Amino acid sequence: MLRTLTVAAVLATAAAAMPAAAAEFSGFRAELQGGWDSTSIGYVDRFGTNWEKSNSAFGYGAEVGYDFPVSETVILGVLGNVAGSTASFDDILCQTSACLLGRNTVNANMGVNFSAMARAGFKVADSTLLYGGVGYANQSIKFYDTPVGGATVEDSRSYSGFRFAAGGEQAFGESFYGKIEYRYSNYKDNVSTNQVWAGVGMRF
């Protein structure tokens, strides 16, 4: 979260130092992203019991998109992004500080996440855009199941779902921009993420 706020402060300072200019918010764009990533995962064990655990970490990724104005103030666009997370989960089957001995342990690491979305924005100033988006998202997770005295078994799973996003984008001149965005993603089997990310990008 601290990294996100630091990036936001830098972007705000840069925006204040630049002369006001009308931004088109149109055409192809590409950006790098990073920020706070809170994930809740579910794991169904061999007995059909669903276990849940949450963790917060740093997320990072990249995005490409295309925007086109439909009026002087309304912008529509499509985008795709790919991301990763430093989140990991230890001993998912242990939900309290005192867990039974003589049981298997299950750990997990977050894999690749990608999404394809549409967004709509409204220019609230010459160089400022507020927007919201919705679309498809996919998250992969790798589980590591270790029985007592046995070898670890890896289990890679892929979860499909939907994502909502809302944020603000600030243009820095004709080509460069920065943004702050909140995302909520919901997948099957009780897997979900809440994210607050910053992005810096360029329009072509």
Half-sphere exposure for 127 (CA within 13 Å, toward CB): 18
Tell me the pLDDT tens digit for each residue of 32-41: 999 999 999 9
- Whether 179 and 23 have beta carbons less than 8 Å apart is answered as no
Task: Supply the pTM of this predicted model.
Answer: 0.81
Q: Which residue has the tokens 């299950």?
A: 106
Chain mean pLDDT for the chain? 86
**Which one-letter amino acid corresponds to residue 101?**
L
Go through the domains of the chain in sequence order and give each one's CATH number. Answer: 2-203 (2.40.160.20)
